[in-house]
Amino acid sequence: MPIKTIIEPFRIKSVEPIRRTTRRERQKLLVAAGYNLFLVASDDILIDLLTDSGTNAMSTEQWAAMMRGDESYAGSPSFQRFRKSIQAIMGFKHVIPTHQGRAAERILFGVMCKKGDVVPNNTHFDTTRANCEFVGAEALDIPIAEARQPQTRHPFKGNMDTAKLAAVIERVGAKRVPLVMLTVTNNSGGGQPVSLENIKAVKKICARHKIPLYIDACRFAENAYFIKLREPGYSKKSPREIAQEMFRYADGCTMSAKKDGLANIGGFLCTNNDLIAQQEKDLLILTEGFPTYGGLAGRDLDAIAVGLNEALDEDYLNYRIVSTAYLGDHISAGGVPIVQPPGGHAIYIDAREFLPHIPPTQFPGVALAAELYVEGGIRSVEIGTLMFGKRDDKGVEHPGPMDLLRLAIPRRVYTQSHIDYVVEVILEVWRRRKGIRGLELTYQAPFLRHFTARFRTAPQHKAKS
Ligand code: P61
């Protein structure tokens, strides 16, 4: 019989202790942090599933590459290796390093967009939306309808609604649409992949109107592997070949190397357009640095050059996708409502469904995050009304489209027993869900409010029968 168990395809060379706290300590820490887990020190967290961004464990090859890092201000060989590695996968003419993804976004939108423009995307992530809106453009989310139905299964729930895309361009006119973006995988929509068929269809519409297509490439390798698993005609292709095909239809990309670059910091911006590249490099020099380092150390460029290739390794991707699904399948089997099917980098609990007695205006995702912390020292992040809702001038809270709680899995960091522990904690909170209370906002910043918001518990709401 062939052996079926899928194992972590690595062994551990360097370990980092994690610290246990008592429930009473966690209750106090939570109140001191205004119920916002961004404001809790990571020493007080046992299992940190806040993000998969920059929290990856690097490989021996990456550490070795870091030692080769050349710290020359201009023309470093580390940059040559970085560019070569990116171009071999993505094929773009210009590669501009940045300190992380949002810096690439700020430069891209700063150069390409102006007030009154519209930027369609399957779903903008929060930094993408904020940077787009910062230059006065409208960040328009047009995912397929299934993307907003957490329980509905669809193999490519990250797809863009192409009919809506065509209609938007028709309505506002191509001149007001400076670019179209596709986020792979769709982070705010549950870490769900976009199919090659959809990328091609979006490109076709863009080409008809001479609008460039950009890919938000953060999790391009996970997206490529989902295509291999789910899209007819791709099962025999390697993740690298699939990624190459994905990028062939694009005119440029933004990337946070903190995700599928398997690095702890870094990002980049790519384009095939010489004029745009020049303007982007001019802006880069203003705030990030010279175009051969872009705010990164040479050693970071080398770590990313290696990491991008490791992220495309099939054994690694199989472990990655299977281990994320393991968490999703186990809590789902216990009754917990999650975005189906499980995504690539994270499991998203449907907090509205989990806590139906807490109205969206009392932040069920934040309340659930607080409970997972008290129960087991687990840190997660709300992707819902706090992140995407808005409080108007009259103080009325307008909920986000969904209230999700994301459990993001750092790459190559936790083992199966850590995840078994997370499952047990979530199921315990599920059992006592009816007693969980909503939250009231006591402080919010003018944008990206979720990082610093503070809360107190809301008066008890009557549970729906
Ligand atoms: C994350 F709570 N994501 O998922 P940067 N595009 C996409 C991302 O997922 C993304 C960026 C662009 C993070 C980090 C994060 O409010 C938050 O390198 C699809 O982080 O600048 C980042 O890349 C930006 C977590 C970001 C947050 C903002 O956890």
CA of 462 to the centre of ligand 1 (A): 36
Question: What single letter denotes the amino acid at residue 136?
Answer: G
- Is 465's pLDDT higher than 50? no
Question: What single letter denotes the amino acid at residue 256?
Answer: S
Instruction: Please tell me the pTM assigned to this model.
Output: 0.95
Euclidean distance between CA atoms 204 and 250, whole angstroms = 11
Q: Could you report the per-residue pLDDT of 280-319, keeping only the tens digit for each?
A: 999 999 999 999 999 999 999 999 999 999 999 999 999 9
Atom 16 of ligand 1, nearest CA residue: 126
Q: Is the CB of 350 under 6 A from ligand 1?
A: no
pLDDT band with cut points at 50, 70 and 90 for residue 460: confident
Q: Could you report the per-residue pLDDT of 118-171, keeping only the tens digit for each?
A: 999 999 999 999 999 999 999 999 999 999 999 999 999 999 999 999 999 999
CATH class of 60-310: alpha beta
CA of 125 to the centre of ligand 1 (A): 7
CA of 127 to the centre of ligand 1 (A): 6
Q: Is the CB of 183 under 6 A from ligand 1?
A: yes
What pLDDT does 147 receive?
94
Atom 29 of ligand 1, nearest CA residue: 51
Mean pLDDT, residues 24-34 taken together: 98
378's enclosing H/E stretch is: strand 378-379
Q: Which long-range contacts (CB under 8 A, 24 or more apart) does 310-315 make?
A: 310/59, 310/61, 310/62, 310/262, 311/221, 311/260, 311/261, 311/262, 311/411, 312/89, 312/221, 312/224, 312/238, 312/239, 312/240, 312/243, 313/9, 313/239, 314/225, 314/238, 314/239, 315/9
Domain ranges across the chain: 23-52+314-457, 60-310
Euclidean distance between CA atoms 384 and 425, whole angstroms = 22
- Percentage of residues in the chain with pLDDT exceeding 90? 94
261's enclosing H/E stretch is: none
Question: What single letter denotes the amino acid at residue 81?
Answer: R
Q: Is the CB of 192 under 6 A from ligand 1?
A: no
Q: Is the CB of 371 under 6 A from ligand 1?
A: no
Q: Could you report the per-residue pLDDT of 318-358, keeping only the tens digit for each?
A: 999 999 999 999 999 999 999 999 999 999 999 999 999 99
For tokens 């102006």, the residue is 114
Atom 7 of ligand 1, nearest CA residue: 125
Q: Is the CB of 51 under 6 A from ligand 1?
A: yes
**CA separation, residue 91 to residues 41, 125, 245 (Å):** 41, 24, 10
Comparing C-alpha atoms, which of 243, 271, 216, 210 is closest to residue 105?
Answer: 216
Q: Is the CB of 267 under 6 A from ligand 1?
A: yes
Probe target for ligand 1 pocket from 127, 187, 381, 444, with the most ligand atoms within 8 Å of CB: 127
CA of 53 to the centre of ligand 1 (A): 7
Atom 8 of ligand 1, nearest CA residue: 125
Half-sphere exposure of 286 (CA within 13 A, CB side): 10
Euclidean distance between CA atoms 295 and 305, whole angstroms = 16
Atom of ligand 1 nearest to the CA of 257: 18
Which two structure tokens, joined as six digits, stand for 257? 């190397």
Euclidean distance between CA atoms 346 and 407, whole angstroms = 5
CA of 79 to the centre of ligand 1 (A): 24
Q: Could you report the per-residue pLDDT of 173-215, keeping only the tens digit for each?
A: 999 999 999 999 999 889 999 999 999 999 999 999 999 999 9
DSSP secondary structure letters along 77-114: HHHHHHHHHHHHHH--SEEEEESSHHHHHHHHHHHH--
Residue 240, classed as helix, strand or coil, is helix
Atom of ligand 1 nearest to the CA of 50: 29
Q: Are 298 and 80 in contact (CB under 8 A)?
A: no
Atom of ligand 1 nearest to the CA of 219: 19
CA of 54 to the centre of ligand 1 (A): 10
Half-sphere exposure of 408 (CA within 13 A, CB side): 19
- CATH code reported for the domain at 23-52+314-457: 3.90.1150.10
Atom of ligand 1 nearest to the CA of 103: 21
CA of 224 to the centre of ligand 1 (A): 19
